[in-house]
């Protein structure tokens, strides 16, 4: 099949809906979407709407429901934080002929979305985490625990499941998963949980936190208690937040993908779907600007659902973290760079 190329200049009114407003990663996704928006010379609007963090799930439902009853919305791009609870609201949007694309975090049941733009292959996430664990702990492996976000965060749960599956593999036999705890993506809770793990499992050598809040809090906790030599931290983190901890060895290695690119690819996919240039069907290929060609496939991590996988993971360590933390010098830390 030929990869479909988007025709610029059509009018598609789009809403980009993150889990909530106010934190860096979603802003980066917004940047990527804006970039694509400009590239495609969309005559319509791109609105960046989101709930507050405290009211994330109900807020998402509210925004989607309102969007569904608006005449001037053609497509919704959502990072789902409400599990299947968003289903009926998205059904209503689809009933109003709106295109629904999920990114970052899908609808678990897969019904009410057209397409999921996966940042990475969820099944790969487990392997990436296990590999980092081995690389940090050495070939002899060791014991480690997982510090996740909230127990009902769909993407985190999928990654942890994939990690557990990966661990069954012979190659990772030396790794022992002790416990899974939740820090609710709240700094204080994550910090306390990390220290509780240390106290509970004296022979634990690694905390794996597949959440940017958790990994930073855990690293800070280890640093504050002078435990960085004995307990390492790894997982999914933002280079800018992890810079210090990677440099001082508390979190020698962690991974993430580019949220800018994720927003960019999501925008392209949605634009193409909404303009009717492509259909959400298995095997359809399209070109997403500078990111290249993607092919829609069945999502193997869910029973129903189509996805494209953006990939790849970037694994950060002492060699590349600084460059990643300050892309172009001034993006993330204007104050720090202005002054010194």
Partner 1 sequence: MPPSFKWDSLKRWETLLAVVLAVVVIFNISQSSVFLRVDNLVNLFMLHIEKIIVVLIMTLIIINGEIDLSVASVMGLGACVVANLYERGVSMEAAILVGLGVGALCGIINGFWVAYVRLPSLAVTLAGLIAYHGIAEMLVEDRSIGNFPDWFNQLGQKALIGPLPLSLVIFFILFIIFAAVLHFSAFGRYVFVIGNNREAARYSGVRVRQVKMMLYIMSGVIASLAGILFAARLGAVRASTAEGFELDIITVVLLGGVSIFGGKGTLAGVGLSIMLVLCLRNGMNLLSITGNTQSTVIGVLLIFSVLIPNLTQDFQGFWNRRRMIAK
Partner 2 sequence: MYRIRHYIRPEQIREFSLIFIIMLAVLFFGTQIDGYYSARTFNRIAASVAIITVLAAGQTLVILTRNIDLSIGSIVGFASYFAGQQLSANQDMHPLIAVGIAIGFGALLGSVNGLLVVYGRVPSIIVTLGTLAIYRGVLVDYAQAKTITTDMMPTWLVDLPRVNLFTVGEIEIRVMVGVAVLVVIAFQLCLTYLLLGRRLYAIGSNPDAARVAGLPARRIVLLAYILCGALAGLGGFMFLVRFGTITVSAGVGLELSAVAAAVVGGVNIFGGAGTMFGALFGAVVIGTLEQSLLRMPNVSEFVRDALLGLFILLAVASDAVILQQLRSLWARWAREARETPAAHSEKESGHAS
Where on the chain is the footprint of partner 2 (CB under 8 A)? 21-24, 26-27, 52-54, 151, 180-182, 186-188, 191-193, 195-196, 199-200, 213, 216-217, 220, 223-226, 238, 240-241, 243-245, 247, 325, 332-336, 338-340
**65 belongs to the binding site for partner 1 (CB under 8 A):** yes
Altogether, the residues listed in the chain come to a count of 340
- Taking the complex as a whole, the smallest distance from the CB of residue 191 to partner 1 amounts, in Å, to 19
Count CB-CB contacts under 10 A for residue 283. Answer: 10
Window 76-115: residues binding partner 1 (CB under 8 A)? 82-88, 108-109
Which is closer to partner 2, CB of 39 or CB of 152? 152
Which is closer to partner 1, CB of 150 or CB of 230? 150
Region of residue 328 (phi > 0: left; psi between -120 and 50: alpha; otherwise: beta): left
195 binds, among partner 2, partner 1, none (CB under 5 to 8 A by kind): partner 2
- Taking the complex as a whole, the smallest distance from the CB of residue 275 to partner 2 amounts, in Å, to 30
241 binds, among partner 1, partner 2, none (CB under 5 to 8 A by kind): partner 2
- Out of 54, 140, 170, 339, name the contact with partner 1 by CB under 8 A: 54
Which is closer to partner 2, CB of 47 or CB of 91? 47
Which is closer to partner 2, CB of 169 or CB of 225? 225
224 binds, among partner 2, partner 1, none (CB under 5 to 8 A by kind): partner 2
**20 belongs to the binding site for partner 1 (CB under 8 A):** yes
Instruction: Quote the CA–CA distance of 110 and 91 in Å, as a whole number.
Output: 11
Which is closer to partner 2, CB of 10 or CB of 192? 192
Instruction: Quote the CA–CA distance of 68 and 29 in Å, as a whole number.
Output: 23
**58 belongs to the binding site for partner 1 (CB under 8 A):** yes
- Out of 63, 215, 250, 321, name the contact with partner 1 by CB under 8 A: 63
Bridge partner list, 47 = 15
Which is closer to partner 2, CB of 56 or CB of 124? 56
Which is closer to partner 1, CB of 71 or CB of 335? 71
Burial 8-27 (b: 16+ CB within 10 A, else e): eebebbbbbbbbbbeeebbe
82 binds, among partner 1, partner 2, none (CB under 5 to 8 A by kind): partner 1
Question: Which segment (51-59, 170-178, 186-194, 270-278) binds partner 1 by CB under 8 A?
Answer: 51-59
- Out of 11, 69, 248, 295, name the contact with partner 1 by CB under 8 A: 69
- Taking the complex as a whole, the smallest distance from the CB of residue 31 to partner 1 amounts, in Å, to 17
HEC assignment per residue over the chain: CCCECCCCCCCCCEEEECCCCCCHHHHHHHHHHHHHHHHCCCCCCEEECCCCCCCHHHHHHHHHHHHHHCCCCCEEEECCCCHHHHHHHHHHHHHCCCEEEEECCCCCCCCCCCEEEECCCHHHHHHHHHHHHHHHHCCCCEEEEEEECCCCCHHHHHHHHHHHHHHCCHHHCCEEEEEEEECCCCHHHHHHHHHHHHHHCCCEEEEEECCHHHHHHHHHHHHHCCCCCCCEEEEECCHHHHHHHHHCCCCCCEEECCHHHHHHHHHHHHHHHHCCCCCCCCCCEEECHHHCEEECEECCCCCCCEEEECCCCEEECCCCHHHHHCCCCCCCCHHHHHHC
Scanning the structure block, which residue is given the tokens 């590239």? 39
**71 belongs to the binding site for partner 1 (CB under 8 A):** yes
Which is closer to partner 2, CB of 224 or CB of 303? 224
Per CB under 8 A, residues contacting partner 1 are 20-22, 47, 49-52, 54-55, 57-59, 61-63, 65-66, 69-71, 82-88, 108-109, 150-152, 154, 157
């Amino acid at each position: 099949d030929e990869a479909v190329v988007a025709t610029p200049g059509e009018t598609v009114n789009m809403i980009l809906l993150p889990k909530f407003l106010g934190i860096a990663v979603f802003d980066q996704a917004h940047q990527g979407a804006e970039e694509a928006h400009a590239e495609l010379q969309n005559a319509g609007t791109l609105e960046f709407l989101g709930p507050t963090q405290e009211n994330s799930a109900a807020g998402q439902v509210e925004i989607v429901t309102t969007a569904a009853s608006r005449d001037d919305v053609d497509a919704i791009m959502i990072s789902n934080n409400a599990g299947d609870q968003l289903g009926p609201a998205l059904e209503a949007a689809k009933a109003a002929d709106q295109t629904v694309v999920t990114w970052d975090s899908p609808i678990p049941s897969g019904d009410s979305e057209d397409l999921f733009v996966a940042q990475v292959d969820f099944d790969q996430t487990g392997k990436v985490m296990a590999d980092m664990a081995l690389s940090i702990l050495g070939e002899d492996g060791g014991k480690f625990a997982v510090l996740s976000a909230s127990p009902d965060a769909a993407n985190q749960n999928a990654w942890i499941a994939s990690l557990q599956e990966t661990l069954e593999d012979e190659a990772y036999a030396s790794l022992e998963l002790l416990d899974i705890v939740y820090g609710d993506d709240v700094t204080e809770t994550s910090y306390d949980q990390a220290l509780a793990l240390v106290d509970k499992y004296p022979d634990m050598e690694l905390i794996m936190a597949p959440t940017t809040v958790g990994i930073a809090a855990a690293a800070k906790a280890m640093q504050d208690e002078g435990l960085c030599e004995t307990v390492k931290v790894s997982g999914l983190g933002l280079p800018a937040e992890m810079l210090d901890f990677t440099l001082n060895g508390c979190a020698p290695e962690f991974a993430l993908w580019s949220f800018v690119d994720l927003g960019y690819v999501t925008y392209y996919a949605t634009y193409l779907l909404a303009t009717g240039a492509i259909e959400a069907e298995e095997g359809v290929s399209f070109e997403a600007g500078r990111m290249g060609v993607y092919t829609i496939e069945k999502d193997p991590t869910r029973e129903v659902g189509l996805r494209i996988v953006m990939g790849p993971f970037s694994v950060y360590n002492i060699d590349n973290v600084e460059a990643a933390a300050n892309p172009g010098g001034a993006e993330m830390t204007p104050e720090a760079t202005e002054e010194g």
